[in-house]
Chain A
Amino acid sequence: MDLETVGGLVLHTILSNLTPKDTAIAACVSNKLKSSASEDILWSKFCSQELDLNEPIDPLGNPTPSFKACYQAWREAFSMYPWPLVMRVKKCWGRLKNWLSINFPEAEATLRKGVSEVEIQESERILKVKLPLPTRILYRFCDGQEINAKKSSGSAGGSLLGLIGGYSYYSHLVNVFLLPLNEVVSNTKPIIRQIGFSSRSKYIVVAFSHTETEKFFFLNCTTGQLHVGTVNLATEGEMIPCVPNALISSVHDSNGDQQQDAMLLWLEEHARRLENGMIKLREERGTRSISLFPEEPPFCSTAITNGVKVRASAVFVPEIADLQNENAKYTFSYSIRMSLQREGCVINGIPFSSCQLNWRHWIIRANDHVESDFNAEAVIGKYPLLLPGEREFVYESCTPLPTSLGSIEGSFTFVPGRLADPKGAPFEVEVARFPLQLPDYIF
């Protein structure tokens, strides 16, 4: 028996086990094989498996007449890149866009369409760099975010739509956007000059916070690593790497398929955290944004005492880090969320319909050594009154730390009823220990 006399059904099962490449080669073997190898059901499987496509849409968003034509269009559009890397980048953007479309559509609307090869080459020419391979493909799929709002104090909705998100405490507010390539080009030179780097520097600005607080992310096009500026950025050009160095490889090598640079790893990690709920959307004064305060254990602790629930977590603040300052190298911002269960505040079986915070007690450790242990009134000057079943009262503060690892724990002193009219004796509410940790991925 030979391949041409074998029945159509059997031929189909044989072809179903081939890769797209081998199927295309099979079509070139003979005319008879061509029609079997061109069956669109085979190609719809490839489009689904490799490109997550259920409809035959080409890279520009236009419908194609068949899945075979669709697959062909994608391969042609990205023929200059290793295909496994193209599939990986597409998946990464797919996950991010999917999360946004479900949870944060107003931010998804800011994502710009991918740039063309010509635009990438032109940008590289002006910047005098060669973009790492994965970053090039990232821009082919999505050209950062459309930033309409002018730099403001952040209360306007426009500047809180950053894909990377951020945090705020006291007057410190950041929310990070990915820059479109044309903004990368226009912002890089002046910023590089400002921080005193040579004009031949291979660093480009790829993301920053669109608020008054400054936070800049730089991609090193030679090494493929991403860096974030510290408090000494302007004076010393001081930066911290954002992604574990060991993971970065072959960023300019188009052979093989192990290429991964910091942008890709960083965005993949961000997608993971959004998907598993480690970071979530937060709403403040009617405006939503992605908050980088962890929401899940082990980084977020939870404790319930007498019906009062306290959740606590911290985030590393790289733009305030000062690597030259031995005593306060790292700064962490922490967010405390407190609420009262529906049954009210129950002390020794007696229910109270409210309780109010009076004092805080914090123990801050650097490694395992107690850095500070203090009691003080109120929290950020407030005495939150908790009522049953209401939204969490949330506040943020910050603490410096001499080490990259530490923790905070403590308690709040509450009175049942209200401070002006206490219904019983004060009681301690636990704040379970939560970590302060320099993360392996810095956002």
Chain B
Amino acid sequence: MSNTSENPKPSSSSAKMTLKTSDNELFEVEEAVAMKFCTVKQYFEDEKDSDVAARGSTTVIPLPNVHSAVLATLISYGKKLPQSNAVADNHEEEETKKKERKKYEQGLLKNLMPGELLDLISAANYLDFKEGLEFFNQALADHIQNKSVEYVRKFFGIKNDYEPHEEEKYREEYAWAFEGVDED
């Protein structure tokens, strides 16, 4: 999954950037995808001003808060998004791409552990990756929609620190929230 930085390939059509994760793995990413991470974009633009010769593949951008597994997923998701510099597709091509993306998204979510989902959200937030943040946040919201308190606790591995009478009182007061909740 990771590429080490080698001698730059001659005249590739799109520039690439190298991202370094918290566990010291290097990822070579197309500029178009990397720019979706606004934190990276900001870093790149700051660097560009200071060192023209060091453009593209020789700059390594450190991401000390992001683990390689998480970055891999975010890059993979970023690649599947409609690229802003892509040629406009006709309606049919657009529809096919949309369907593919939906299938990919479903596959992605199916295999995620709750902890991983939180890592993705946290990393997307750190990278200021708006589409990723929205997608994974919504995935989380959809997953716990209308679920019971016990389900949410189990899903996230949270220990219940309420006193029984406290919890009872809360459930009575907010009875409307506990109606029609899905069976566990």
The answer to whether A binds B is: yes
Q: A residues touching B (Cβ–Cβ < 8 Å)?
A: 1-4, 6-7, 9-10, 13-14, 16-22, 24-33, 72, 75-76, 79, 83
Known interface pairs A1-B115, A2-B118, A13-B121; A29-B152 also in contact (CB < 8 Å):
yes
Q: Is the CB of A30 within 8 A of B122?
A: no
Contact of B119 among A1, A9, A83 (CB under 8 A): A1
A7 to B119, CA, bound (A): 11
Neighbouring A residues of B121 by C-beta, 8 Å: 6, 10, 13-14
Chain B CB within 10 Å, residue with most, of A4, A13, A72, A75: A13
- A-B contacts counted at CB < 8 A amount to 95
Q: Is the CB of B148 within 8 A of A6?
A: no
A14 to B141, CA, bound (A): 7
Q: Is the CB of A17 within 8 A of B138?
A: yes
Contact of A31 among B115, B119, B138, B161 (CB under 8 A): B161
Neighbouring B residues of A76 by C-beta, 8 Å: 176
**Further pairs besides A3-B158, A24-B174: 4, Cβ < 8 Å:** A3-B118, A6-B121, A29-B156, A30-B162
Closest to B115 in A: A1
Q: Is the CB of A22 within 8 A of B145?
A: yes
Q: Is the CB of B178 within 8 A of A25?
A: yes
Known interface pairs A13-B137, A22-B141, A79-B175; A33-B158 also in contact (CB < 8 Å):
yes
A437 to B163, CA, bound (A): 67
**Size band of the B side of the interface?**
35 or more
Q: Is the CB of A4 within 8 A of B138?
A: no
Q: B residues touching A (Cβ–Cβ < 8 Å)?
A: 114-115, 118-119, 121-122, 125, 133, 137-138, 140-141, 144-149, 152-153, 156-162, 167, 170-171, 173-178, 181
A6 to B124, CA, bound (A): 13
Q: Is the CB of A4 within 8 A of B175?
A: no
Known interface pairs A17-B138, A83-B176; A6-B118 also in contact (CB < 8 Å):
yes
Neighbouring B residues of A3 by C-beta, 8 Å: 118, 156, 158
A14 to B138, CA, bound (A): 8
A364 to B145, CA, bound (A): 60
A181 to B161, CA, bound (A): 49
Closest to A13 in B: B137
Neighbouring B residues of A1 by C-beta, 8 Å: 115, 118-119, 122
Please name the 6 residue pairs, one residue from A and one from B, whose CB atoms are nearest each other, closest first.
Answer: A24-B177, A17-B141, A3-B156, A75-B176, A1-B118, A17-B137
Neighbouring B residues of A9 by C-beta, 8 Å: 125
Q: What are 15 inter-chain pairs, A to B, with CB distance below 8 A?
A: A1-B115, A2-B114, A2-B115, A2-B156, A6-B118, A13-B137, A17-B137, A18-B141, A21-B177, A22-B141, A25-B181, A26-B152, A30-B158, A30-B162, A79-B175
A22 to B122, CA, bound (A): 20
Closest to B170 in A: A28
Known interface pairs A2-B157, A6-B122, A30-B153; A14-B137 also in contact (CB < 8 Å):
yes
Q: Is the CB of A79 within 8 A of B122?
A: no
Q: Is the CB of A72 within 8 A of B115?
A: no
Neighbouring A residues of B159 by C-beta, 8 Å: 30
Neighbouring B residues of A26 by C-beta, 8 Å: 152
Q: Is the CB of B158 within 8 A of A4?
A: yes
Q: Is the CB of B162 within 8 A of A10?
A: no
Contact of A28 among B115, B118, B122, B149 (CB under 8 A): B149
Known interface pairs A13-B121, A14-B141, A21-B146; A28-B156 also in contact (CB < 8 Å):
no
Contact of B122 among A10, A17, A31, A75 (CB under 8 A): A10
Known interface pairs A6-B122, A14-B121, A30-B160; A79-B176 also in contact (CB < 8 Å):
yes
Q: Is the CB of B149 within 8 A of A29?
A: yes
